[in-house]
Chain A
Amino acid sequence: MNLVIVDYKAGNVQSVQFALERLGVQATLSSDADTIKAADKVIFPGVGQAASAMAQLRARNLDKLLPTLEQPFFGVCLGMQLLCQHSEEGNTDLLNIIPLPVKHFETDLKVPHMGWNQLENLKSPLFEGLAEQEYVYYVHSYYVPVSEYTIAQTSYPEPFSAALQYKNFYAAQFHPEKSGAAGSQILKNFLAL
């Protein structure tokens, strides 16, 4: 399988690549349009700040390319948020692939939402073999509300989108590459889609 991780200097690409390596899969890191287009599957990690990540995508013309992709695509953490329409983080316009907003947590609880929390309401082959209430690792201050595209949710304290699916675009707010055995299973499931 030709698996490409989008490398745009705003991702924890190394951790994702290592997680795939532990599953025995070699992935190519690339920001090249032809390489990404030719991939069987694409993984889109991201950490950091929305506006600077968008600037990095624009600098590589990836903001034009990514919405046109048709193969199974997996956005992780900020990589999920970037697929949406608009983020309250720095009032940033995003890739606008999934028509959803990204909002800041307004809660008395600690922000960032940091640590292991539970997945609920699982409804996707991405979660094959996982039980409800499975723990995954989060670290984020912004979230996507629950919507018709939500395929798993987590509560902090209100439910938000733990994962999304829109056509061929899958996405997770948590870090599957840092979520122990559960995370590995989710990556494996994506590779099997």
Chain B
Amino acid sequence: MLTKRIIPCLDIKDGRTVKGVQFENIRDAGDPVELAKWYAEQGADELVFLDITATNEGRKTFAQLVREIARHIDIPFTVGGGISSVADVEVLLQNGADKVSVNSSAIKNPQLVEELARHFGSQCVTVAIDTKYKEETGWKVYTRAGTIETEYKTVAWAKQVVELGAGELLLTSMNNDGTKAGFALDITREVAQAVSVPVIASGGAGSIDHFADAFLKAHADAALAASLFHFRELAIPDLKQYLKAQGVAVRV
């Protein structure tokens, strides 16, 4: 049976992991390759690397890093952050990334999604959607790291990018992100049911039950978390054993 995926996410700045990761058995937790290898051994199903570097110099470092990650890990990984053209994607895929994720650039230019799908195939195009709920507006799409409200309603935008060729959606609720209060189950379920492609739930993971809820209640295909894994509040083998006992199909 196809299993639900558990995905640690690593923020990268100038080629190093950003969040103060604390692991006793990793020589250099600031080294994304070391951390990625460790997660792969722990049973992570995929990894996401987000480049939050702002400089051109840093971007070159990131492409080099992608190559080192591909050299050393034997599970799939997605890379995102600052991708705005076919040429950007070409460099990352050539260096061994399996998928790329686009966010603000897709909002600025939705045709980019179509162009990427045509050039590289839908299977490697993930569209990241940052969404926020407000009483007055309902769930809307936000851009620029969740700071600017766009014209798009979340479900309509999800359908539109899938129509354009997105092969997967990474849905992050800005209301939930960082709260550790659980994933946004309502919008995740709504999007997962509205589109034909897999949906990754993101934002708000704080405990083991939250993952079960994302899969069993919101029908997410994958769940992503960062600090919860980085700070060792939850170990992936324990999470997977728990999910299995709850009747969630996982790779253990």
Q: Which of A48, A115, A183 contacts B2 (CB 8 A)?
A: A115
Q: Which of B3, B94, B121, B167 contacts A14 (CB 8 A)?
A: B94
A12/B221 contact (C-beta < 8 A), A18-B71, A49-B121, A180-B75 known: no
- Is B213 positioned at the interface, with any CB of A under 8 Å from its CB? no
B residues 195-239 near A (Cβ < 8 Å) are: 196-198, 221-222
Q: Which of A14, A156, A184 contacts B70 (CB 8 A)?
A: A14
CA distance A186 to B71 in the complex (A): 18
CA distance A62 to B98 in the complex (A): 25
CA distance A118 to B168 in the complex (A): 21
Tell me whether B221 and A110 are in contact (CB under 8 A): yes
- Is B23 positioned at the interface, with any CB of A under 8 Å from its CB? no
- B122 → chain A closest CB, angstroms: 7
Interface size on B, residues (CB 8 A): 35
A112/B167 contact (C-beta < 8 A), A15-B98, A139-B123 known: yes
A residues 161-179 near B (Cβ < 8 Å) are: 175, 177-179
Chain A residues closer than 8 Å to B71, beta-carbon distance: 18, 21
Tell me whether A15 and B40 are in contact (CB under 8 A): no
- Is B59 positioned at the interface, with any CB of A under 8 Å from its CB? no
Flag A16-41 by CB within 8 Å of B: 1 or 0 each: 00110110000000000000000000
**Number of A-B pairs, beta carbon distance below 8 Å:** 94
Tell me whether A178 and B75 are in contact (CB under 8 A): yes
- B223 → chain A closest CB, angstroms: 12
Chain A residues closer than 8 Å to B94, beta-carbon distance: 14
- A168 → chain B closest CB, angstroms: 26
- A44 → chain B closest CB, angstroms: 17
Chain A residues closer than 8 Å to B196, beta-carbon distance: 110-111
Which residues of A does B touch, CB under 8 Å?
Answer: 12, 14-15, 18-19, 21-22, 47-49, 109-118, 135, 137-141, 155-156, 175, 177-181, 183-184
Which residues of B does A touch, CB under 8 Å?
Answer: 1-5, 40, 45-46, 67, 70-72, 74-76, 93-96, 98, 118-124, 167-168, 196-198, 221-222, 251
